Structure 1
């Protein structure tokens, strides 16, 4: 099994929306990718919550059966289609994949 974790820190304002608006839009776009390929075992997108410590605005925690499933997700047209918006609104991105 492979875990794929991505965190995004967003710009204060980009693509016509403020940080919170863009975070909500990102989460909805990620949620739309939750079942795009076989081999996705877990797919959870979340937003930083007021009152709880957070240094990033959006997180994706996901688990894949294997690297082939992650690669299929990375190259799926629905995932590829959201990348331009994510690139335009993010200030920073961190990613880590690891096998267990």
Structure 2
């Protein structure tokens, strides 16, 4: 099993929306992927709490896959790329780690 964790820092404003508004859109788009890609075993998406430090990342994505091959399929899948395009337009940084469970 492979766990894929990605954290995104969103621009304070992008596409006419705040970071949190864009994070909510991104969360919805990401969660829709679980209905479209049957090789995602588990997905959790969290948005930084309003009371938490503003130096934290805006959004955290955690996904589980059966194998690194499935993670690689996810990475290049057109549905994932569509979501990634939106996030790429509103984020200012990204951090990621993939590890075996």
Q: Is TM more than 0.5 here? A: yes
Corresponding residue number in structure 1 for 2:14: 14
Task: Return the alpha-carbon distance in structure 2 between the equivalents of residues 91 and 52 of structure 1.
Answer: 19
Corresponding residue number in structure 2 for 1:93: 94
- Helix, strand or coil for the counterpart of 2:37? coil
* Mapping of residues 51-90 of structure 1, within 5 Å: 51-53=51-53, 55-90=56-91
Following TM superposition, the consecutive aligned residue runs of length 4 or more in structure 1 with deviations greater than 3 angstroms are none
* Structure 2: segments with no counterpart, 5+ residues: none
Task: Return the alpha-carbon distance in structure 1 between the equivalents of residues 37 and 17 of structure 2.
Answer: 30
* Structure 1: segments with no counterpart, 5+ residues: none
Task: Return the alpha-carbon distance in structure 2 between the equivalents of residues 74 and 35 of structure 1.
Answer: 16
- Helix, strand or coil for the counterpart of 1:73? helix
* TM-score (norm: length of structure 1): 0.90
Per-residue Cα deviation, 1:45-72 (whole angstroms, up to 9, x for no partner): 1111122457111110111100111111
- Helix, strand or coil for the counterpart of 1:38? coil
Q: Give the aligned length.
A: 100
Task: Return the alpha-carbon distance in structure 1 between the equivalents of residues 96 and 78 of structure 2.
Answer: 20
Corresponding residue number in structure 2 for 1:50: 50
RMSD: 1.5
Corresponding residue number in structure 1 for 2:33: 33
- Helix, strand or coil for the counterpart of 2:41? strand
Task: Return the alpha-carbon distance in structure 2 between the equivalents of residues 42 and 52 of structure 1.
Answer: 25
Deviation at 1:75, TM superposition (A): 1.6
